[in-house]
């Protein structure tokens, strides 16, 4: 056995459970404009990713959408974030497929379309504003993704398209936990691949 720290099954199970838990206001990473956080857990054939990003670089504002343009930007961001296969490409050799994508807009989705009250007529009538002050953790978007891989032993890396999909992104801060080890770092524009620690 080598002395490099292998991640125990218990730790992986706990990490997966944490990623499976609902996003909570106040949890997760600090709110920073231009910074997208990515937490990744690889466990056997399962790959789970959780994304957290400030509304500032996802839609360009951090309050409930008000104008028609903001509603359109909001819907476009939801659609872009929900497209797991476009945003993340595990190595083709690993034969992974996206099995789920769940997007949680700021405010837990309450601020999205379908809001019962007609805030579009009076921009500041809605109560959500008071909670979030248009800023802080309430301005964060979250998304959870699951992939299943038929040949996980061939998974050496995951490509992402976050800089392309959200051009206001300055950094992707990632951490990854796998049976073969853990790693983390910061990616900047042009760095589109996250390596999975190799078994030895």
DSSP count for the chain of H helices, then E strands: 6, 9
Closer by beta carbon to Zn ion, 77 or else 101: 77
How far apart CA 62 and CA 53 sit, in angstroms, is 11
Q: Which residues of 126-143 are buried (b: 16+ CB within 10 A; e: fewer)?
A: bebbeebebeebbbbbbb
Task: Choose one: 20-28, 56-64, 163-171, 189-197; the region binding Zn ion (CB under 5 A).
Answer: 56-64
Task: Choose one: 9-17, 61-69, 83-91, 104-112; the region binding Zn ion (CB under 5 A).
Answer: 61-69
How far apart CA 49 and CA 71 sit, in angstroms, is 26
Report in angstroms how near the CB of residue 134 gets to Zn ion at its nearest.
8
Closer by beta carbon to Zn ion, 56 or else 119: 56
Closer by beta carbon to Zn ion, 1 or else 130: 130
Task: Choose one: 3-11, 62-70, 97-105, 168-176; the region binding Zn ion (CB under 5 A).
Answer: 62-70
Provide DSSP, 144-158: EEEEEES-GGG--EE
User: Count of residues binding Zn ion (CB under 5 A)?
Assistant: 5
**Residue 138 lies near Zn ion (rule: CB under 5 A):** no
**Residue 107 lies near Zn ion (rule: CB under 5 A):** no
Strand partners, 36: 53, 172
Question: Which positions lie near Zn ion, rule CB under 5 A?
Answer: 54, 56, 62, 135, 139
């Amino acid at each position: 056995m080598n002395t490099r720290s292998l991640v125990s099954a218990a730790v992986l199970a706990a990490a997966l459970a944490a990623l499976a838990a609902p996003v909570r206001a106040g949890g997760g990473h600090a709110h920073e404009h231009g910074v997208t956080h990515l937490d990744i857990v690889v466990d056997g054939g399962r790959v789970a990713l959780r994304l957290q990003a400030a509304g500032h670089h996802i839609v360009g504002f951090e309050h409930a959408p008000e104008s028609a343009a903001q509603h359109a930007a909001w819907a476009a961001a939801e659609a872009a974030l929900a497209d797991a296969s476009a945003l993340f490409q595990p190595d083709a050799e690993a034969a992974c497929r996206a099995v789920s994508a769940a997007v949680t807009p700021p405010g837990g989705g309450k601020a999205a379309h379908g809001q019962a009250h007609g805030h579009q007529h009076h921009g500041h009538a809605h109560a959500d504003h008071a909670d979030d002050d248009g800023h802080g953790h309430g301005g964060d978007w979250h998304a959870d993704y699951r992939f299943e891989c038929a040949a996980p032993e061939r998974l050496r890396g995951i490509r992402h398209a976050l800089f392309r999909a959200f051009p206001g992104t300055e950094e992707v801060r990632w951490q990854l936990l796998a049976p073969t080890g853990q790693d983390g770092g910061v990616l900047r524009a042009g760095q589109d691949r996250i390596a999975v620690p190799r078994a030895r």
